[in-house]
A = this chain, B = another copy of it.
Amino acid sequence: MKSKTNLPNATAERIPMYYRYLNMLAASQVQRIKSQELSKLIHIPSATIRRDFSCFGELGRSGYGYDVQFLKETFAKVLNVNKLEKIALIGVGNLGQALIRNNFRRNPNLKITIAFEQNETLIDTIFNGVPIYSMALLRQKIQENEITTAISTVPSAHAGKIMPLLDEAGIRSVLNFAPERLKTPQHMMIRYIDLTSELQTLIYLSDREAENQVLSGVDQS
């Protein structure tokens, strides 16, 4: 098996999805699956799946398929799913509240356990089981709870000021819902969720697809 260090980033990004589907397959008592069958389920080319899986050694045999249980356990180890990952939420507006209400309930090892907000009516309340603190307590509470992962819903204009504070508090990774790219503190990794860009790309690709159908003279309607 390649060490964690050598796994290509693109492969790393697909592992959560593989893991989810392997869980579903295992729950449905499926014992073996071929890359072509998995490809149909998750819409990733079977060659990509075989290449990704080969990073973990000989997990399957030609014509026989992959052992679902074994794959599932392999990816569970890679993703460290047996370790509870406590998450700090910064910003409890509409989106923040939606995130707390959902709170990754289908993944019991991911859990928003504390939140921070500057709206005084929310500070010192408990929202769906999650205590909300003032921003002044950010460092203290994150350190007390030994949290290293945060989700920020703070708007772009303020997100840049928050990151150094999170860094000082010991946060190592941030999922950021403000799309503007920030100067990342040395030890920190930031991933951006950019709904506007996703939507613009979707509309562009869809328009192009429609244009192609017209150009190729194929009307499948």
A residues touching B (Cβ–Cβ < 8 Å)?
Answer: 4-5, 7, 9, 12-13, 15-17, 19-20, 41-43, 78-80, 85, 87, 93-95, 97-99, 101-102, 104, 106-107, 110, 148-149, 151, 172-175, 179-181, 186-187, 189, 191, 193-212, 215, 220-221
Question: CB-CB < 8 A to A207: which residues of B?
Answer: 4, 80
A12 touches B149 (CB 8 A): no
The contact sample of 23 A-B pairs, CB cut-off 8 A, is: A4-B207, A5-B208, A5-B215, A12-B205, A13-B201, A17-B197, A20-B196, A79-B200, A95-B98, A104-B195, A104-B199, A106-B196, A110-B196, A110-B199, A173-B203, A175-B202, A186-B220, A187-B221, A189-B202, A189-B205, A189-B206, A191-B202, A193-B193
CA distance A151 to B198 in the complex (A): 11
Judge whether A201 and B191 touch: CB under 8 Å.
yes
Q: How far is it, in angstroms, between the C-alpha of A196 and the C-alpha of B17 when the chains are bound?
A: 9
Q: How far, in Å, is A171 (CB) from chain B's closest CB?
A: 10
The reply to whether A5 and B173 contact each other, CB–CB distance below 8 Å, is: no
**Inter-subunit contact A204/B78 (CB<8 Å):** yes
